[in-house]
Structure 1
């Protein structure tokens, strides 16, 4: 065993290992008496007392398919496969981790406070739906000032199309998107453009098809289930290592700049330390010399994961929900909580972070969200969930006027929280984004039947529509109809909107970003404001950033004590009043 910093075993436990002139294959199969490696023939593996089977061969047959033969003759892929020959049910492929020649090894990432994210689904970001095609489109995002892209999960999932949250081979990039080296090339191109690349990972369950772990390693899972599948038994050391190794694998071998852990509230672990403490510890201990950022989606809003150097920021769904409630009047499902005093809740979110006190995940100590820097919260007007789970997959701007949309977008991009755009939002793409999958038979029926409850939870049905109008998630046309339309980015309307985004991000970069590191605890302050307005000031070091939002239908007085207006950047004097459905930002030098 080779120990790295923090005593972490630096030798990966899962997947093929290149050792000297040969290769070691390993599988944790405590429920098996015999396991054979299938690689141009079958070879008996040595069983250790802890349930691991191993075999060392004195060659490195890169590109060769391999798998494992269980007691009953079933052939399974490597659960830590780096590449699949076909799909999740096929054989794995031995890859050369050092074959790719990086062009931007000097890249050290970017500090978190510079982050402006665009969320991307690889399969629908381009007509081709590949890593190579994504790389070819990144110059558009870089040109408008985006500093990071975030890929929806790419770990191999069943079928050819899907959102990726039902992955079963956590180490293998999805074959339909391209090879591991093509993924590395995507990251490399992004770095050359000054873009960070984040990856969405799912550590709370495995998908329902193609996962054979329970057959030969039932101890990998608990008896309990969450909404998506069996809970994972992180108290088992091999299981723990599977996920810690996985986080390091993406960050080290592919040089990702960060990870976003999906629904961490469903990552259950009775161990001490918790797996959500061990992963950040391993990452911080192993990866030095460049910026790496760890994000979470944590619906219960527990601040304990955002302190003591654990995670950098949380997706703050509350911002989306309350803004959507205000501008659409939808009040069912996820919006019901924000039906009353929506503007009061928005003021609290903008000034303090969360609406609620939250629930703990790894400790009983919950600092108030106001004690965190504003950059601990990622805000968005829409993302894959908030669009794709709607009945018709409609984007926000298709149901509100452009003036209101511009005001909301300016609030998003100029407030001190970290902004996230959804693909196509940079030019107001009108293409819907649906939920889609690639299942058949009973699983297809289950997935299809679940769409109506999801739609009802995400705003219900537009007038004149019902559950029968929801596109079949398993139909290929539903996937194809979700591909964004790049032709819209070339229209006068698309270019005009992109220019607005570019201006806003440039103002953020020049006037706000230099002060974000100086934001201290309790930096936000809510000021008295007229009805349907939000007035918030943030202390950012030696300046105050002042937000004045007016979502009413009448002009309102702003009062005094305003600094230099940075948005809108027209010459018109609007210091005394604010037009309907608009927003203004000011910077004032602080005297205290």
Structure 2
């Protein structure tokens, strides 16, 4: 293990541990152990400091900088006492039970995004795995778990990327979750953030100011300087760390458009593939630039916000902010996305004011992860409303059919499967009350440009992210799932996923678009040829009137309402807020 990672505390034999820190410019660095004498670290070339000392797993330690504060290890594998507390030496030996598990090929993935804290920590997620497996989910994606300041956070304010936040559980708890998932045939992905650090608990400015660029800033502060090899290694080794020590099956890289070095992502992908040879490892991007070239070789897929935005406009009629880019022709844009992947492939975005995207027609459907909602699209709303609280129930069922049966990789957000209307709000738990106030006021100011929140009194009703009640309000409620609407939707989703996994799944790798067109102003009809030559056709109407629509060849694979397929076959009419899928078997 010690040869794989440049940073951190790596235990060896006889209770001895190697400690290593990149701290260029420091006159000295001292290793402090809570129950042992301090030990000067030895200076190495290129700004590195190291020490090998008696420190069995469980030892609490930190670093005293020669011209700065005493800090936790930025590559800490676990913390005792939040981000400002003691780092903990961790032994990554674990009694894995399911060592022969292999993730399915990526085109067959059905992803379920969840928040560890809202689901009751790592052990809480374990309690949901059997239900998700029965539903038809074969991949869970966990929002970032890297240690953050305070008791609650979405995870994108992490500052110690190697350490699972202690509010979620121990490193062994996370490994037990991965192992249990593998035992049920579920792959585990994790969201990682390599474009910025959170606003509290990041000591890299003191340890190594060269970690950041002086000439570039991001919305979250100074840009990380990926031109420095130790900086690149810190993050690339982190990705390898999660995929090997925790046996994760994939990573979703947050907001890579904010990474300022064009070569970093390619090196990241190359080194991950080298370190995980022989495994199906999923590498997925969030990338506002719609850079199709990233998906040709280096990465498996990208979250396709274009599809979400089209569906949202069709279902709700909203056209504020980025929805304005899709409001002129939402059905036409959705038809393009179903056929080609991205809606914006070089066209000018009204919202951004510049061209966005590259041609994506040549990419397979599996290069795109589609969703009805994500943590972003729900939680970035002022009141955290879900689509089920904003749109007609039949319309959402039609969208769910399109999502779960079309060849692009589908992703559910926790609660989607039972039509949850419980809000998922933006929440934090910063101990620093000045920071908490700044976050609260900044969020309310952000929504001042929206007509619904022009009135200061209305903005005051936007939940305070740092109020513990905001986090509590965002947790799923089992009672909601047991409601009549919840059980009805869960049965529907399970039926769709059974059809996807059994009838379509084996033939999704190699699927290709066979064309897509809009129906009227609010519907579409899309078709794909699967790898075995079968033809899948889906027609959907998200508006409130029937549309002319001819039945497709083949048998009815699924419908969002019992009478949809018969009405299309008999009357040539697609009912309001409905969808139907046909599958024509390959010629013998």
TM-score scaled by structure 1?
Answer: 0.92
Q: Is the 8 A contact 1:302 1:358 kept in 2?
A: no
Residue in 2 that maps onto 1:289: 278
Q: How does 1:183-194 map to 2 (within 5 A)?
A: 183-194=174-185
Q: What residue is the counterpart of 1:305 in the other structure?
A: 294
- Which residue of the partner structure matches residue 62 of structure 1? 57
Q: Contact 1:115–1:148 at 8 Å: present in 2 too?
A: yes
Give the drift of 1:539: 2.2
Choose which of 237, 241, 254 in structure 2 pairs with 1:245: 237
Q: Distance in 1 between matches of 2:464 and 2:281?
A: 39
Q: Measure, in 2, the Cα distance between the counterparts of 1:532 and 1:425.
A: 23
More displaced 10-residue stretch of structure 1: 417-426 or 568-577: 568-577
Moved more, 260-269 or 535-544: 535-544
Aligned to 1:485: 477
CA contact (8 A) 2:332 2:517 kept: no
Question: How many Å apart are 1:589 and its aligned residue?
Answer: 4.2
1:38 to 32, 35, 57: 32
Aligned to 1:48: 44
Please give the alpha-carbon distance, in whole angstroms, between the structure 1 residues aligned to 2:511 and 2:524.
20
The C-alpha deviation readout for 1:218-249, integer Å capped at 9, x for no partner, is 11111121111221111111111101110000
Q: What is the CA distance between 1:553 and its match in structure 2? A: 2.4
Aligned-pair distance for 1:527?
3.5
| Aligned equivalent of 2:522, options 512, 532, 546 | 532
The structure 2 residue matched to 1:433, chosen from 407, 424, 432, is: 424
The question of whether the paired residues in 2 share the 8 Å contact of 1:108 and 1:289 is answered with no
Deviations 1:187-240 (A, max 9, x none): 111111111110000000111111111112111111121111221111111111
Per-residue deviation at 1:426? Answer: 1.2
RMSD: 2.2
Deviations 1:510-563 (A, max 9, x none): 22222211224xx24124633322011122231221111112323233225532
Partner of residue 363, structure 1: none
- For residues 304 and 68 of structure 2, what CA distance do their matches in structure 1 show? 48
Instruction: Give the deviation of 1:64 after TM superposition.
Output: 1.2
* 1:69-468 correspondence runs (5 A): 69-72=64-67, 74-98=69-93, 100-125=94-119, 129-223=120-214, 224-269=216-261, 274-308=263-297, 310-358=298-346, 368-439=359-430, 440-452=432-444, 454-455=446-447, 460=452, 466-468=458-460
Query: Aligned with 1:534: secondary structure?
Result: strand
Q: How far 1:466 sits from its partner (Å)?
A: 2.4
CA distance in 2 between counterparts of 1:91 and 1:176 reads 15
In the alignment, the residues of structure 2 paired with residue 89 and residue 573 of structure 1 have an alpha-carbon distance, to the nearest angstrom, of 64
SS at match of 1:587: strand
CA distance 1:48–1:437, change in 2 (3 Å)? same
Whole-angstrom CA distance in 2 between matches of 1:102 and 1:446: 44
User: Structure 1's 552 and 14: CA in aligned 2 closer, same or farther, altered over 3 A?
Assistant: same
Partner Cα distance (1:19, 1:519) in 2? 48
- Partners of 2:456 and 2:199 lie apart in 1 by 35
Cα displacement (A) at 1:329: 1.3
Secondary structure of 1:16's partner?
strand
Q: 1:353 deviation in Å?
A: 0.7
Point out where structure 2 has 5 or more consecutive residues left out of the alignment: 348-356
Which residue pairs with 1:585 in the alignment? 581
- The alpha carbon displacement at 1:372 in A equals 0.4
Structure 1 gaps of 5+ residues are 3-8, 360-365
User: For the residues of structure 2 that align with 1:166 and 1:431, how far apart are their CA atoms?
Assistant: 24
Deviates more, 1:291-300 or 1:398-407: 398-407
Deviations 1:496-515 (Å, cap 9, x if unpaired)?
21111100001111222222
CA–CA distance in structure 1, aligned partners of residues 587 and 178 of structure 2:
44
Q: Is contact 2:537-2:582 (8 Å) kept?
A: yes
- Quickly say closer, same or farther: Cα 1:225–1:331, change in 2 above 3 A: same
How far apart in 1 are the matches of 2:127 and 2:201? Answer: 32
CA offset digits 1:114-169 (Å, max 9, x no partner): 211111111112xxx22111111211111110111111000001111010101110
Determine if contact 1:549/1:584 at 8 Å carries over to the other structure.
yes
TM-score by length of 2: 0.92
Matches within 5 A, 1:474-553: 474-520=466-512, 523-527=513-517, 529-541=519-531, 542-553=533-544
User: Shift in Å at residue 113 of structure 1?
Assistant: 1.6
Cα distance in 2 for residues equivalent to 1:239 and 1:386: 31
Work out the CA distance in 2 between the residues paired with 1:358 and 1:103.
48
Q: Secondary structure at the match of 1:545?
A: strand
Matches of 1:231 and 1:486 in 2, distance apart? 41
CA contact (8 A) 1:389 1:455 kept: no
* Aligned residue pairs, count: 568
Tell me which residue corresponds to 1:12: 5
C-alpha distance after superposition, 1:164-197 (max 9, x if no partner): 1011101000011111000101111111111111
How far did residue 344 of structure 1 move?
1.1
- The SS at the match of 1:394 is coil
